[in-house]
Amino acid sequence: MKVLRPVAWAVLLPVSVWSSAALAYDLHPYGSLAACGFDVLVAAHVVRSRRDPWALSLWLVLNLLVIAWWLALRPPPNQSWAPEFARAGWAERVGDHVTLHDVRNFSYRTETDFEARWETRTIDLNRVVGADLFLTHWGIPLVAHSIVSFRFADGTYLATSIEARRTKTQAYSAVRGFFRQFQVSFLLADERDVVRLRTNYRRGEEVYLYRTRLQPADARALLEDYLDAMNAVHDQPEWYNALTRNCATPMIGFLARAHIGGISRWDWRGILGGSGDRMLYDLHDLADDGLPFEALRSQAHINDAARAADQAPDFSARIRAGRAGFLLPEAAP
């Protein structure tokens, strides 16, 4: 037992820290009180475990009870959502034609001052010809937000983005993202909304744009997978999680599940997203025009081009013009 005790401590101490935080964040409205009580009980069992081997078992039971409670939490169906998450997209499909409901296409004056526009659009899945990847960095190199934009034969785009759906009283927090604080939002959007918001209005966000080598059939499969997941969440809300159910999922998680592009679901670069572009480059999944990765990444930075394009109707064409892997706007399919 003396040999096992250090191992038990090494496991139970970090788990207890997480359990205490879970109570503090997710047990409303008595989270702080419950966390304090839990900490007192843990401290008592830590002291007792030095002489009483059963204390370790009771310590484990305490954590198992918290974990079981936490896993049983279900997202409330109706909340007072922040305006940018007021609606949840969903799709109706008849054969190869899909009607998309609640596509976000806001017109921004500032990040928080905007004209809300929710649109209904119709797409033909046979007209999907490829997919482009946006990666947004905000200061933590290993972490990034990914947006996948599907390209259609007429040169139009549909942007998809998995985000943390917040209420009017919530602000996003990476720490809170590990607990039951936010719901998953499968967003459908115009690029002039979801991309320009990050390049033109939010401070400290740097956006990079890459063309993937996805063939039309694989791009279509990826979009269908996204729409199916979106409809499932629309019918049955799910929790967002900064590690397991995060914004890197659209490209990397779905591709890994579909075994497209050689991506492994176990590759750590696909979990946090910040090195997702390097992973895709190494797997030859990015159109690079023969450039080494650092050169490709440098020219993929679009903030200046997006600010110059601003509200132009051809925003999508302007941010792609002249970049590695992209056709010139006038030659677009």
pLDDT tens-digit map of 236-294: 999 998 877 777 666 666 666 666 667 666 666 766 678 889 988 998 999 999 999 99
H or E segment and range at residue 131? strand 128-137
Residue 331 has pLDDT above 50, yes or no: no
Residues 88 and 11 in one domain: no
CA distance 290 to 29: 57
Residue 77 lies in a domain: no
What residue numbers bound the domain in which 183 lies?
Answer: 83-331
Q: Which two tokens stand for residue 237?
A: 């809300």
Residues 110 and 51 in one domain: no
Residue 232 lies in a domain: yes
Residues 17 and 127 in one domain: no
Residue 332 has pLDDT above 60, yes or no: no
User: Which of 72, 103, 120 is the last residue in one of the domains?
Assistant: 72
Residues 300 and 221 in one domain: yes
Residues 187 and 215 in one domain: yes
Kindly report which listed range (3-17, 86-100, 134-148) carries the lowest average pLDDT score: 3-17
How many domains does the chain divide into? 2
User: Which of 72, 103, 132 is the last residue in one of the domains?
Assistant: 72
Confidence of residue 2 (pLDDT cuts 50, 70, 90): low
What residues contact 265, with CB distance under 8 A and at least 6 apart? 253, 256, 257
pLDDT digits (tens, 9 = 90+) for 113-127: 999 999 999 999 999
User: Which of 50, 72, 94 is the last residue in one of the domains?
Assistant: 72
Rounded to the nearest integer, the mean pLDDT of the chain is 88
Residue 78 lies in a domain: no
CA distance 288 to 276: 15
Residues 102 and 56 in one domain: no
Residue 131 lies in a domain: yes
Give the amino acid at 173.
S
CA distance 317 to 313: 9
Residues 14 and 98 in one domain: no
